């Protein structure tokens, strides 16, 4: 009695394998297009980036003050 483990790919007919491979390749090639942002949205996103950088600087300053009394 041969109890060899087989993968699901080995049990499928060749055409099903080709379809599955094609679907996998199509999913991997999805490219998201850039969305044209309004000027207000750009300002909001840049202000959020600046806010994050400022908050990181505040954390670094506070940690340096904590380490050096």
Greater confidence (3 vs 40) lies with 40
pLDDT band, residue 44 (cuts 50/70/90) = very high
Indicate the SS3 state at residue 5: coil
> pLDDT value at position 15?
75
Q: What percent of the chain has pLDDT over 70?
A: 77
Looking at the predicted structure, is the pLDDT value of residue 27 above 80? no
Q: Report the candidate in 16, 22, 23, 19 with the shortest Cα–Cα distance to residue 8.
A: 16
């Amino acid at each position: 009695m041969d109890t060899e483990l087989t993968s699901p790919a080995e049990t499928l007919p060749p055409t099903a394998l080709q379809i599955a491979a094609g679907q996998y390749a199509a999913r991997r090639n999805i490219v998201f297009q850039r969305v044209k942002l309004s000027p207000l949205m750009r300002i909001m996103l840049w202000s959020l980036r600046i806010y994050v950088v400022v908050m990181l600087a505040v954390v670094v300053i506070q940690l340096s003050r904590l380490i050096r009394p």
